C-alpha cells in the first residue's frame, strides 16, 4: 500500500490512500489461547529479576570508565581507542584506494586555500592564519578522528562566532584602529603623557594582539571539548534540534553576508557588536552607499557571476558525471592575484588588496589564558556549535557509507585540533579583498537557501516552524550567541509545553480483534459498554500531572470531585429534613461509654457527636422482610452521619443494583443548593470500569505516581473501578519504590489492577459485569 501525502489549500495534510495490494506473507491467522492475567497473577506464574533503571551514580561511573574497564589491558585498549588511525592503517588497501584518496585530498586541499583565507578576513585577522587553520587540523584529525571522509578546516559560522568574540574583546586587549606604535613608544620613552592606556594590551601591534585573542579563544574551546570528551557530554548537542540548527545557520549566514558587503562595495563602515548589530550595519551601509568604489564593485560582480554560474550550472548539474568539481574558487584566487599584480589594481584603482603575508610557519607561542574570564560563554558556545556542525557531517557520511563513528572520540579529535591551533603564502599579497569576499558570499548559497525550509516546516509541524523562525530572527536581530541561546531556551520551553499538553483520546475495540484504536481516527473502533478506555500520549511527571488528570476527567465526562460534592449536598439535605421532622423513631439513649465505643469502631472522633438508636418495627415472623429486618438491625446503632449515608444508599438501591443503569446525563453540577433536595438521587457515572492505557508512559516520577494513585482512589469512591493496562517495568518499579520509601506504610501499588495488555483488562471487566 502506498501513501501519497498531499496538502489542500489550507495546508491541511491529506492522505491519498491508493489501492491496497495483498501481501501473501500476511496470509496467516492469530490464534492464541491463554488465561487473562493481571500483574499479580502474571508475577506469580512468571518470576522476574529486579528492574534496574536509570541511576545517577551508574551514569557518572559509566562516563568515567565507559571506554575502558579496569584491568590488565586497560591502557592498551584506551590507547587504541584514542588513536583510531591505527585500526584503519592496518587494513588500508593501498592498490585500490590510494589514487582515489590522493585525488580527493588534492581537490579538498585546493578548496581549502581560498576559503580559509576568506574566513580569516571574516574573523578580521591576517589571511595566513586561515591557511594555518586549514593545514594543521587536517594533519591532526586523521590521527584522532573516526570519520573516513570528512576534512576538518574552516567553517563560516565558527569563523563568524570567533570574529564576534574578537570584536567584543579587542577594545580592551588590542590597540585601537590607527594606533601608531612608533609614536607611542617614543612618548613612553620620553615620559610624554598619552591619552591611551596600553597596560591591558596584549601587544602594541594591533594584528598581533587580535591574533593572541583568537589563539586564547581557540585554546579554551579545545579545553572545553576535551572536558566534554572526558565526561561523555556529546549528548548535549541533542538539544540542538534540526529546525533550531537550520534556523541558526540561516541567521548566521545573514551575518556573514552582511560582514562582507563592505569588502564587496569597497566602503568603510563602523564596527558594531551586540544586539541589533545587523540593522545598525545596514543603516550604515545604505548611508555610505553613494561612496561605493566602482572598481571594487565591478570586480565583485565579475567574481560572483563566475562563481555562481559554474557552481550552479556546471558543478551541481553535472555532479554525478564529474570526478571532481571544477575548482572555481582556486581559479578566482589565482587569476585575481595575477591580474591585480600586473594591472596594479592597488596603485592605479585604489582597490584594497590583502597586502603582505608572513612567510613560513610561526613558532609556537603560549596564548594569554587569563582572558578566559571575558570569553567563557563565547568559548563554550563555539565548542558546542563547532562540534555539532562537524559531527552532523560525520554522521551523514557514516550512514551513507555504513560504518560507525565514535561521538566522544570526535570530541577528543576536535579538542586536540583546537589546542594545537591555540599554540601556533606570500604570493597572494596582491589578491583583491573583493575576490575573497565574493568567494565567501558564494559559499553561503546553501545556507541562505535554508530560509526556504520554513515552508516545509510549516506544512509538517507548526512547532518546528516556530523553532526555526524564532532562532533565525533572534540570530539576525540580536546576535549569534544571543540568538543561539534564545533558540535553545525556546526549544526547551516548547518541549516542556508540548509534554504538558499531550494528546488524549478514547480507545475503541476493532470488532473481532484484540486491537484498540483511537475512536477519533478509526470509524471501526467502537467503545465497549460500561467501559471507558483512555490514552494520554506522554510521560507522566510533575509538569504535566495536572493536565493528565484533567484529560482523564474530560474524556470520561466524569469528574469524581463533582459527584462526591453532589452526594454530600444531597446527604446534608436529607439530614436537615430528618432533623426538622423530629421523628420519634430516633432518640439518643446510649450511655457515654457506648457512644465512645461506637465512635472508635467507626473512626469518628468529633466531640459531642450524636449516636442514634433506631426502633425496629419489622416483624420477625415475616420471611419476606428478612432483608429489611437485617437492614433495621444494622441501623440499631448508628452515628448521625452513618444514618443519613445509609438512608441514601437504600434510596438509590435500585440504581446501584443494575450497573448498566448508571448515568451522568443531564446532571447539574452547579453550586446552587436549589438544584438538589432530600429526594434527589445520588448521581453515578454511566460506566463501571475505567482502563488507562499506560503504554505511552515511558517515564513516571513520584508526582505521577501520586496522580495515578489519586485517580484510582477518586473513581473508586464514585463506584468506578480503575485498571492500568500495558504498563512497562519501569512504571511498576516506580510504584514499588514509592511504597518502600514511604514511612506511613501506604501501598502505592495494587498489582491486582495492573494488566499486561488492554485486552486482558477489558476481558476481566466484562467477566465481572456478567457476574453481577
Average pLDDT, the chain: 79
**What does residue 730 show for φ and ψ, rounded to 5 degrees?**
-65, -35
Q: Which residues pair with 534 in a beta bridge?
A: 506, 692
pLDDT exceeding 90 applies to what percent of the chain? 22
Higher pLDDT, 59 or 257: 257
- CA gap 646, 717 in Å, rounded: 15
Q: How many Cβ atoms are within 10 Å of 223's Cβ, its own excluded?
A: 18
- Give kind and range of the element (H or E) at residue 644: helix 640-651
**What does residue 662 show for φ and ψ, rounded to 5 degrees?**
-65, 140
| Maximal C-alpha separation, the chain | 132
- CA gap 254, 750 in Å, rounded: 59
What does the chain come to in residues? 772
pLDDT single digits (tens) 239-298: 778 898 889 889 988 998 998 898 899 988 887 777 888 999 999 999 999 999 999 999
Look at residue 207 and give its three-state secondary structure.
Answer: helix
pLDDT single digits (tens) 206-218: 888 998 999 999 9
pLDDT of 130 higher than 70: yes
- The CA-atom distances, in angstroms, between 99 and each of 64, 96, 103, 215 are 41, 7, 6, 36
Q: Where are the alpha helices (DSSP H) in 545-608?
A: 545-556, 560-581, 592-601
Mean local confidence (pLDDT), 491-518: 90
Which residue matches cell numbers 435500585? 654
- CA gap 432, 264 in Å, rounded: 10
Least confident of 172-176, 391-395, 658-662: 658-662
Render 430-498 in DSSP notation, one character per residue. Answer: T-BHHHHHHHHHHHTHHHHHGGGHHHHHHHH-HHHHHHHHHHHHHHHHT-HHHHHHHHHHHHHHHHHHH
Higher pLDDT, 617 or 114: 114
Q: Which pLDDT belongs to residue 635?
A: 43
pLDDT bin (cut points 50, 70, 90) of residue 676 is: low
Higher pLDDT, 725 or 566: 725
Q: How many Cβ atoms are within 10 Å of 501's Cβ, its own excluded?
A: 12
635 with 643: CB under 8 angstroms? Answer: yes
Number of H helices, E strands in the chain: 30, 12
Q: Which residues pair with 510 in a beta bridge?
A: 525
Look at residue 754 and give its three-state secondary structure.
Answer: strand
- CA gap 153, 449 in Å, rounded: 22
769 with 739: CB under 8 angstroms? Answer: no
504-558+685-771: CATH number: 3.30.750.24
Higher pLDDT, 365 or 505: 505
- Give kind and range of the element (H or E) at residue 393: helix 376-401
**What are 6-11's contacts with CB under 8 Å, separation 24+?**
7/459, 11/458, 11/459
Q: How many Cβ atoms are within 10 Å of 508's Cβ, its own excluded?
A: 20
pLDDT single digits (tens) 733-771: 888 888 887 766 677 778 899 999 999 999 999 999 887
pLDDT bin (cut points 50, 70, 90) of residue 641 is: very low
Per-residue b/e over 146-184, b at no fewer than 16 CB within 10 Å? bbeebbbbbbbbbbbbbbbbbbbbbeebbbeeebeeeeb
Look at residue 767 and give its three-state secondary structure.
Answer: helix
Render 294-336 in DSSP notation, one character per residue. Answer: HHHHHHHHHHHHHHHHHIIIIIITTTTT-SS---HHHHHHHHH
Q: Which of 694, 229, 287, 161 is nearest to 417 (CA)?
A: 229
Q: How many Cβ atoms are within 10 Å of 415's Cβ, its own excluded?
A: 23
pLDDT of 673 higher than 60: no
Q: Which pLDDT belongs to residue 621?
A: 46
- CA gap 59, 66 in Å, rounded: 10
492 HSE (CA, 13 A, CB side): 9
Could you tell me the residue ranges of all domains in the chain?
97-185+203-289+351-427+447-497, 504-558+685-771, 563-658+665-675
pLDDT single digits (tens) 80-110: 778 888 878 888 888 888 888 888 888 788 7
pLDDT single digits (tens) 29-53: 888 889 999 998 998 898 888 877 7
Least confident of 360-374, 573-587, 698-712: 573-587
Q: Which pLDDT belongs to residue 669?
A: 59
Q: Which pLDDT belongs to residue 659?
A: 39
Q: Which pLDDT belongs to residue 424?
A: 58
Amino acid at each position: 500500500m502506498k501513501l501519497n501525502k498531499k496538502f489542500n489549500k489550507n495546508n491541511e495534510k491529506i492522505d491519498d490512500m491508493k489501492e491496497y495490494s495483498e501481501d501473501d506473507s500476511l496470509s496467516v491467522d492469530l490464534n492464541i489461547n491463554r488465561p487473562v492475567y493481571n500483574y499479580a497473577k502474571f508475577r506469580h506464574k512468571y518470576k522476574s529479576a529486579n528492574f534496574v533503571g536509570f541511576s545517577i551514580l551508574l551514569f557518572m561511573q559509566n562516563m568515567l570508565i565507559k571506554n575502558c574497564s579496569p584491568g590488565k589491558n586497560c591502557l592498551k585498549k584506551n590507547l587504541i581507542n584514542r588513536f583510531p588511525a591505527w585500526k584503519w592503517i592496518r587494513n588500508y588497501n593501498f592498490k585500490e584506494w590510494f589514487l582515489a584518496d590522493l585525488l580527493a585530498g588534492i581537490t579538498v586541499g585546493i578548496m581549502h586555500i581560498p576559503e580559509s583565507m576568506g574566513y580569516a578576513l571574516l574573523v578580521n585577522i591576517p589571511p595566513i592564519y586561515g591557511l594555518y587553520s586549514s593545514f594543521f587540523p587536517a594533519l591532526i584529525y586523521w590521527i584522532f578522528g573516526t570519520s573516513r571522509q570528512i576534512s576538518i578546516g574552516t567553517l563560516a559560522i565558527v569563523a563568524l562566532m570567533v570574529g564576534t568574540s574578537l570584536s567584543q574583546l579587542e577594545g580592551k586587549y588590542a590597540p585601537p584602529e590607527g594606533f601608531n606604535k612608533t609614536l607611542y613608544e617614543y612618548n613612553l620613552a620620553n615620559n610624554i603623557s598619552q591619552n591611551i592606556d596600553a597596560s591591558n594590551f596584549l601587544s602594541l601591534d594591533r594584528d598581533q594582539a587580535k591574533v593572541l585573542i583568537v589563539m586564547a579563544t581557540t585554546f579554551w574551546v579545545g579545553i572545553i571539548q576535551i572536558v566534554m570528551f572526558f565526561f561523555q557530554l556529546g549528548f548535549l548537542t541533542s538539544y540542538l534540534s534540526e529546525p533550531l540548527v537550520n534556523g541558526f545557520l540561516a541567521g548566521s549566514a545573514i551575518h556573514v553576508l552582511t560582514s562582507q558587503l563592505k569588502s564587496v562595495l569597497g566602503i568603510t563602515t563602523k564596527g558594531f557588536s551586540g544586539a541589533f548589530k545587523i540593522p545598525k550595519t545596514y543603516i550604515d551601509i545604505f548611508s555610505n552607499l553613494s561612496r561605493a568604489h566602482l572598481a571594487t564593485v565591478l570586480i565583485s560582480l565579475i567574481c560572483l557571476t563566475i562563481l555562481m554560474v559554474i557552481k550552479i550550472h556546471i558543478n551541481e548539474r553535472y555532479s554525478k558525471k564529474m570526478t571532481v568539481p571544477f575548482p572555481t574558487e582556486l581559479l578566482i584566487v589565482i587569476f585575481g592575484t595575477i591580474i591585480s599584480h600586473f594591472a596594479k589594481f592597488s596603485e592605479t584603482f585604489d582597490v584594497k588588496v590583502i597586502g603582505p603575508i608572513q612567510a613560513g610557519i610561526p613558532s609556537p607561542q603560549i596564548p594569554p589564558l587569563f582572558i578566559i574570564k571575558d570569553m567563557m560563554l563565547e568559548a563554550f558556545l563555539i565548542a558546542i556549535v563547532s562540534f555539532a556542525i562537524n559531527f552532523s557531517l560525520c554522521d551523514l557520511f557514516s550512514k551513507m557509507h555504513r560504518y560507525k563513528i565514535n561521538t566522544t572520540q570526535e570530541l577528543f579529535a576536535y579538542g586536540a585540533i583546537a589546542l594545537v591551533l591555540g599554540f601556533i603564502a606570500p604570493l597572494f599579497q596582491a589578491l583583491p579583498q573583493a575576490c575573497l569576499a565574493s568567494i565567501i558570499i558564494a559559499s553561503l548559497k546553501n545556507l541562505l537557501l535554508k530560509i526556504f525550509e520554513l515552508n516545509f516546516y510549516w506544512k509538517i509541524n507548526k512547532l518546528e516552524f516556530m523553532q526555526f523562525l524564532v532562532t533565525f530572527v533572534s540570530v539576525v536581530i540580536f546576535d549569534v550567541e544571543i540568538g543561539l541561546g534564545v533558540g535553545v531556551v525556546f526549544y526547551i520551553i516548547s518541549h516542556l509545553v508540548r509534554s504538558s499538553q499531550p494528546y488524549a483520546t478514547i480507545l475503541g475495540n476493532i470488532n473481532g480483534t484484540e486491537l484498540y484504536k483511537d475512536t477519533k481516527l478509526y470509524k471501526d473502533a467502537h467503545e465497549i459498554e460500561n467501559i471507558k478506555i483512555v490514552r494520554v500520549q506522554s510521560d507522566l511527571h510533575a509538569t504535566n500531572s495536572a493536565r493528565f488528570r484533567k484529560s482523564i476527567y474530560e474524556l470520561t465526562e466524569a469528574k469524581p470531585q463533582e459527584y462526591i460534592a453532589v452526594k454530600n449536598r444531597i446527604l446534608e439535605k436529607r439530614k436537615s429534613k430528618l432533623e426538622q421532622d423530629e421523628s420519634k423513631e430516633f432518640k439518643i439513649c446510649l450511655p457515654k461509654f457506648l457512644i465512645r465505643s461506637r465512635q472508635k469502631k467507626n473512626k469518628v472522633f468529633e466531640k459531642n457527636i450524636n449516636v442514634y438508636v433506631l426502633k425496629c418495627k419489622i416483624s420477625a415472623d415475616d420471611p419476606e422482610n428478612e432483608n429489611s429486618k437485617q437492614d433495621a438491625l444494622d441501623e440499631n446503632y448508628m452515628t448521625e452521619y452513618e444514618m443519613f449515608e445509609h438512608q441514601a444508599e437504600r434510596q438509590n438501591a435500585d440504581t446501584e443494583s443494575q450497573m448498566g443503569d448508571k448515568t451522568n446525563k443531564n446532571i447539574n453540577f452547579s453550586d446552587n443548593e436549589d438544584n438538589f433536595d432530600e429526594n434527589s438521587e445520588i448521581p453515578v457515572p454511566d460506566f463501571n470500569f475505567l482502563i488507562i492505557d499506560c503504554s505511552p508512559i515511558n517515564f513516571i516520577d513520584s508526582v505521577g505516581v501520586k496522580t495515578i494513585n489519586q485517580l484510582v482512589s477518586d473513581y473508586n469512591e464514585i463506584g468506578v473501578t480503575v485498571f492500568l493496562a500495558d504498563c512497562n517495568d519501569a512504571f511498576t518499579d516506580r510504584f514499588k519504590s514509592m511504597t518502600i520509601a514511604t514511612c506511613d506504610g501506604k501501598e502505592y501499588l495494587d498489582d491486582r489492577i495492573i494488566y499486561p495488555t488492554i485486552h486482558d483488562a477489558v476481558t476481566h471487566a466484562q467477566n465481572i459485569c456478567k457476574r453481577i
